[in-house]
């Protein structure tokens, strides 16, 4: 992944500007709120000097009323602010999450080979959270704070210019320190998202693979890996904490220094008690936003770091952006041809070497061979999950590389070994490729795949919930659901990865029968392990070290007494 830096300009254009109306309303509210906020400090002087010292009690009711109204205005505006901007920020977060997830799903399958799913979850869910601080009250608070600071400076100069200088000097130093600190912290925050994603990813894997881990007694090792990850996270937080706490302490110290200066100077300039108090109050109003800025600054830094990572993901090209794959194929017949196709996952390590074969519409092609020979890779190419490095794959004579993925995959069905069933009812799982299929179509698929054979025994039938929180199904039952799903999808091209695990004989015969129905009339590629499937195949391709070592029908290949014969007799012995 390339390192991408999100610029302020980019963020402004894509995130801030489209929300300018809301942000302007926010700004308007904050100006009112801050202006109202200046009333109480201003009121200290007349209160001290006129009312307390000079006993002009007639002024008191007006003063109290003024301050009360100001406080009320402040309360209402800050309520509205949070309501408008925070809600918009949360809305933006959900929009961004959807956008990232959408992009993620359009990335090539190869991308997912090298990614932990838990890490990607963290990218989608956590990385965009930061915008809360950009659109939420953070940005507006910052602007409002700066405004208050400027107005306060005006008042301060009005009271005493020289004393104001005394306050401004340490505060400028503080400002410089803050800016410097944040340029240091940004990469630390950036790193944090990465570490979090790593650790979350590993944890998800650990939990998913808990059987293997326990089976190999590898808990200790996993505990160590996790501890290390968590410690990395801790070190990262520690680093940023040092910087942020340094900024805060520097702030406190410099503010203290300014106060000492003010105390001395107010004696020297002979200020009245009211003037001193007023000056101090305005000083607080000027300093508060500057200190607050360090807080908001770290939020902004976090937001930018998150956006950096999101941007990185969004910049990975999707598998079909419609520019190269321009041919939308209609209903296909299903003739497929590999012409001199080579493929490698890593440069210089070819996995498939100059493979050529034809699969006629409606025929069954069985891929057999030892593990690692390249069968899955061939299946992946037919599914357009992978693209040939050289050579060409054609579908009904059209170059697959130019075919729009949507138009092709809508006519494709895949049944994989460990098929993906999700949390939900059996009905939902079968309907998944065609949610709007009729009840009749569904029932046909259910019967053809012998799913009814076991669902009829369930109290809730097809409405039975399966998955983590539901009924646990046997391997054979899961497969039958996957087959029913493929039958319902009614694809022209079918890719089948037969399960290697042994099923009980009854399940086995159900599955054989349903597979037969499923393959009927479709161009099928099957990574075959069952002899019954292989015998029925129109052609068998014996894949050996990325090449087709032998091809033909079962009887022919047996007669030839070559590689297939060896494989077959070996399996028969088992």
Q: Shortest gap between Cβ of 455 and ligand ADP (angstroms)?
A: 32
**Residue pair 535/554 in contact by the 8 Å Cβ criterion:** yes
Spell out a b/e string for 307-323, using b for 16 or more CB atoms within 10 Å of the CB, else e: bbbbbbbeeeebbbeee
Distance, in Å, from the CA atom of 49 to the CA atom of 59, rounded to the nearest integer, reads: 12
Where in 322-351 is the site for ligand ADP (CB under 6 A)?
A: 345-346, 351
Q: Shortest gap between Cβ of 494 and ligand ADP (angstroms)?
A: 17
> Residue 112 interacts with ligand ADP (CB under 6 A)?
no
The first and second tokens of residue 401, run together, are 């590389």
Out of 74, 122, 178, 377, the only residue in the binding site for ligand ADP (CB under 6 A) is 377
Q: In this chain, which stretch among 4-12, 219-227, 369-377, 514-522 interacts with ligand ADP, using CB under 6 A? A: 369-377
- For ligand ADP, the closer CB: 332 or 351: 351
The first and second tokens of residue 151, run together, are 């107005």
- For ligand ADP, the closer CB: 345 or 420: 345
Where in 162-221 is the site for ligand ADP (CB under 6 A)?
A: none
Tell me the sheet residues that pair with 496: 415, 526
Query: Given the structure tokens 């203290």, which residue do they identify?
Result: 256
Distance, in Å, from the CA atom of 557 to the CA atom of 537, rounded to the nearest integer, reads: 12
- For ligand ADP, the closer CB: 240 or 533: 533
- For ligand ADP, the closer CB: 47 or 343: 343
> Residue 468 interacts with ligand ADP (CB under 6 A)?
no
Q: How many CB atoms lie within 10 A of CB 450?
A: 22
DSSP annotation of 471 reads: B
The first and second tokens of residue 194, run together, are 């990465």
Helix-helix angle 219-268:161-208, to 10 degrees: 170
Q: Shortest gap between Cβ of 563 and ligand ADP (angstroms)?
A: 14
> Residue 374 interacts with ligand ADP (CB under 6 A)?
yes
End-to-end CA distance of the chain: 47
Out of 299, 376, 384, 455, the only residue in the binding site for ligand ADP (CB under 6 A) is 376
Q: Shortest gap between Cβ of 103 and ligand ADP (angstroms)?
A: 21
> Residue 373 interacts with ligand ADP (CB under 6 A)?
yes
Strands 493-497 and 412-415: parallel
Q: In this chain, which stretch among 364-372, 382-390, 461-469, 563-571 interacts with ligand ADP, using CB under 6 A? A: 364-372
> Residue 420 interacts with ligand ADP (CB under 6 A)?
no
Q: In this chain, which stretch among 8-16, 118-126, 147-155, 367-375 interacts with ligand ADP, using CB under 6 A? A: 367-375
Residue 115, CA distances (Å) to 230, 451, 507 in order: 19, 34, 35
Q: Build a one-symbol-per-residue string for 545-574: x at contacts with ligand ADP by CB under 6 A, - elsewhere.
A: ------------------------------
> Residue 113 interacts with ligand ADP (CB under 6 A)?
yes
Distance, in Å, from the CA atom of 430 to the CA atom of 419, rounded to the nearest integer, reads: 12
The first and second tokens of residue 266, run together, are 């107010």
Q: In this chain, which stretch among 50-58, 371-379, 420-428, 479-487 interacts with ligand ADP, using CB under 6 A? A: 371-379
Q: Which helix (H) or strand (E) holds 22?
A: helix 20-37
Report helix, strand or coil for 403.
Answer: strand
Q: Shortest gap between Cβ of 373 and ligand ADP (angstroms)?
A: 4
> Residue 372 interacts with ligand ADP (CB under 6 A)?
yes
Binders of ligand ADP: how many residues, by CB under 6 A? 12
In the structure, how many helices (H) and strands (E) does the chain have? 23, 12
> Residue 388 interacts with ligand ADP (CB under 6 A)?
no
- For ligand ADP, the closer CB: 307 or 341: 341
- For ligand ADP, the closer CB: 299 or 377: 377
Q: How many residues does the chain have?
A: 574
- For ligand ADP, the closer CB: 308 or 497: 497
> Residue 365 interacts with ligand ADP (CB under 6 A)?
no
- For ligand ADP, the closer CB: 136 or 374: 374
Report helix, strand or coil for 574.
Answer: coil
Helix-helix angle 475-489:505-519, to 10 degrees: 10
- For ligand ADP, the closer CB: 152 or 376: 376
Distance, in Å, from the CA atom of 126 to the CA atom of 96, rounded to the nearest integer, reads: 11
Out of 323, 371, 438, 505, the only residue in the binding site for ligand ADP (CB under 6 A) is 371
Residue 13, CA distances (Å) to 17, 166, 181, 349, 471 in order: 5, 39, 26, 44, 50
- For ligand ADP, the closer CB: 299 or 384: 384
DSSP annotation of 486 reads: H
Residues forming contacts to ligand ADP in the complex (CB under 6 A) are 113, 345-346, 351, 369, 371-377
């Amino acid at each position: 992944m390339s390192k991408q830096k999100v610029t302020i300009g980019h963020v402004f254009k894509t995130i801030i500007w489209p929300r300018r109306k809301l942000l302007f309303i926010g700004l308007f509210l904050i100006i009112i709120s801050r202006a109202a906020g200046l009333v109480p400090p201003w009121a200290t002087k007349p209160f001290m000097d006129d009312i307390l010292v000079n006993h002009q009690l007639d002024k008191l009711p007006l003063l109290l009323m003024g301050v009360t109204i100001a406080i009320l205005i402040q309360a209402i505006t800050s309520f509205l602010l949070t309501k408008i901007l925070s809600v918009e920020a949360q809305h933006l977060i959900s929009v961004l999450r959807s956008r990232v997830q959408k992009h993620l799903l359009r990335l090539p399958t190869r991308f997912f080979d090298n990614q932990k799913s838990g890490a990607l979850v963290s990218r989608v869910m956590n990385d965009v959270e930061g915008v809360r601080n950009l659109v939420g009250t953070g940005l507006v608070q910052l602007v409002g704070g700066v405004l208050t600071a400027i107005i306060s400076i005006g008042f301060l100069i009005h009271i005493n210019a020289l004393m104001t200088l005394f306050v401004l000097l340490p505060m400028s130093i503080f400002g410089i320190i803050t800016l410097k600190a944040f340029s240091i912290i940004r990469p630390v925050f950036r790193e944090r998202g990465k570490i979090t994603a790593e650790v979350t990813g590993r944890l998800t894997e650990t939990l998913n693979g808990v059987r293997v881990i326990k089976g190999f007694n590898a808990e200790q090792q996993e505990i160590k890996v996790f501890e290390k990850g968590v410690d990395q996270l801790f070190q990262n937080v520690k680093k940023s904490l040092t910087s942020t706490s340094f900024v805060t302490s520097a702030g406190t110290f410099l503010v203290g220094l300014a106060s000492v200066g003010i105390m001395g100077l107010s004696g020297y300039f002979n200020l009245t008690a009211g003037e001193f108090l007023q000056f101090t109050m305005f000083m607080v109003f000027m300093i508060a936003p500057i200190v607050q800025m360090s807080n908001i600054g770290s939020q902004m830094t976090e937001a930018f770091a998150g956006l950096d990572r999101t941007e990185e993901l969004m910049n990975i090209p999707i598998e079909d952006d419609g520019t190269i794959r321009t041919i939308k194929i209609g209903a296909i017949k299903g003739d497929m041809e590999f012409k001199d196709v080579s493929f490698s996952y890593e440069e210089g390590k070819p996995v498939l070497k100059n493979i050529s074969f034809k699969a006629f519409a409606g025929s069954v092609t069985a891929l057999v061979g030892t593990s690692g020979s390249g069968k899955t890779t061939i299946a992946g190419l037919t599914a357009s999950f992978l693209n040939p490095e050289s050579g060409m794959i054609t579908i009904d004579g059209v170059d697959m590389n130019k075919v729009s993925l949507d138009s092709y995959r809508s006519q494709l069905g895949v049944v994989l070994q460990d098929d993906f069933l999700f949390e939900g009812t059996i009905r939902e799982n079968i309907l998944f490729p065609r949610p709007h299929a009729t009840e009749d179509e569904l029932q046909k698929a259910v019967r053809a795949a012998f799913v009814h054979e076991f669902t009829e025994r369930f109290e809730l039938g097809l409405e039975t919930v399966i998955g983590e929180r539901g009924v646990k199904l046997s391997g054979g039952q899961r497969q039958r659901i996957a087959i029913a799903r493929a039958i319902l999808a009614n694809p022209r091209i079918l890719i089948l990865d037969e399960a290697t695990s042994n099923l009980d004989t009854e399940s086995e015969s159900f599955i054989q029968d349903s597979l037969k129905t499923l393959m009927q009339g479709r161009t099928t590629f099957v990574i075959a392990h069952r002899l019954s499937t292989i015998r029925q195949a129109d052609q068998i391709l014996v894949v050996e070290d990325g090449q087709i070592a032998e091809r033909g029908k079962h009887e022919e290949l047996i007669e030839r007494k070559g590689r297939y014969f060896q494989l077959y007799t070996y399996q028969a012995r088992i």
